Amino acid sequence: MDQNAIKNIFTREFCDTLLPPHTSDRFFEALYGDVSEGAYDIRLNCDSVRPGTVELGFHLSQRPGKCLVCSLTYGLPNVFARHPLIDIQGMIQKIKEAGVPVKDWRLGQTCEKKRSLHVIPFYIDTVTS
């Protein structure tokens, strides 16, 4: 599958099926027992498509009146990798079902793009022909 075909799969709508917008509230309810404790909203974006790699990103956007920098986002890749609400294995299955030839995946370290936005890179290695 070529780069453009893969890029066409990762629309905003498809990314929202992989990680529905309401997941943020469910995540904080499970983590803290209270949605209002959540300091950020989680949104999955397609950041780039290169030969052999799709780079998605878990974009953590600061909620009004909260401190994203104080929220310990740097430990999140390990949490996201195994948390059932994030469900990366389920995402990978849906991505395969959409026709993307997934070989492997991994999460990168949290990057601070700005004080109000942190991103956890989600790399998907694809089979190239």
pLDDT single digits (tens) 81-96: 999 999 999 999 999 9
Structural domain boundaries enclosing 19: 3-126
Q: What percentage of the chain has pLDDT greater than the value 70?
A: 99
**Structure confidence by residue, pLDDT tens digits, 32-47:** 898 888 999 999 999 9
pLDDT of residue 32: 87
pLDDT of residue 129: 66
pTM of the model: 0.94
Q: What is the number of domains present in the chain? A: 1
Are 53 and 125 a contacting pair, CB within 8 Å? yes
CA distance 107 to 123: 6
In this prediction, residue 63 has a pLDDT band, given cuts at 50, 70 and 90, of very high
Q: Count other Cβ atoms within 10 Å, centred on residue 94.
A: 13
